[in-house]
Amino acid sequence: YFAPLRNLAPGADHRAHKGLNNRIEGSHRPTRKREKIMGRFKSQRQAQRFLAAHDQINAIFKPRRYRLTANSYRHARADAFSLWDDYAREMTA
pLDDT per position as a tens digit, 6-35? 777 777 666 666 666 666 666 677 777 777
- Residues of the chain with pLDDT > 90: what percent? 3
pLDDT in tens, 28-37: 777 777 777 7
pLDDT value for 14: 63
For the chain, how many residues are written?
Answer: 93
Tell me the backbone φ, ψ of residue 92, rounded to 5 degrees. Answer: -85, -15
**Higher-scoring residue by pLDDT: 24, 47:** 47
Q: How many CB atoms lie within 10 A of CB 90?
A: 8
Q: Which of 39, 38, 76 is nearest to 54 (CA)?
A: 38
pLDDT value for 19: 62
Judge whether 65 and 73 are in contact, CB under 8 Å.
Answer: yes
pTM of the model: 0.42
Determine the distance from the C-alpha atom of residue 89 to the mean position of all C-alpha atoms in its chain, rounded to a whole number.
27
